[in-house]
Amino acid sequence: FERICEAQRLVFLFNFSDRTQEDYLLNVEDCPALRPLICSEWEEYGGTRKADKGMLTTVDGTIMVTLPPFSGLCLLAEHANG
């Protein structure tokens, strides 16, 4: 799911199954990088991982992610022009 509001783009990924979704390819046009905002796997949201809010760089507008079972991820899409 992608939410666009004026100059801000948010991308939401969910895995509602009981199986890990490995190597999920996400196409995000005109986006050189994505910044994680919320991850249900982070400790602060009841998960088991430390928060990692570092930028995720796309390659040709694509990024590969792994989604654990019953998880969600919210990413802020950076603009191609900065």
| Residue 4 confidence (pLDDT) | 66
Beta-bridge mates of residue 4: 9
| Residue 1 confidence (pLDDT) | 57
Reading the chain (82 residues) residue by residue, the pLDDT tens digits are 566 667 788 889 999 999 999 999 988 888 888 999 999 998 888 887 888 877 888 888 899 999 999 999 999 988 765 5
| Residue 77 confidence (pLDDT) | 87
Maximal CA-CA distance, the chain: 38
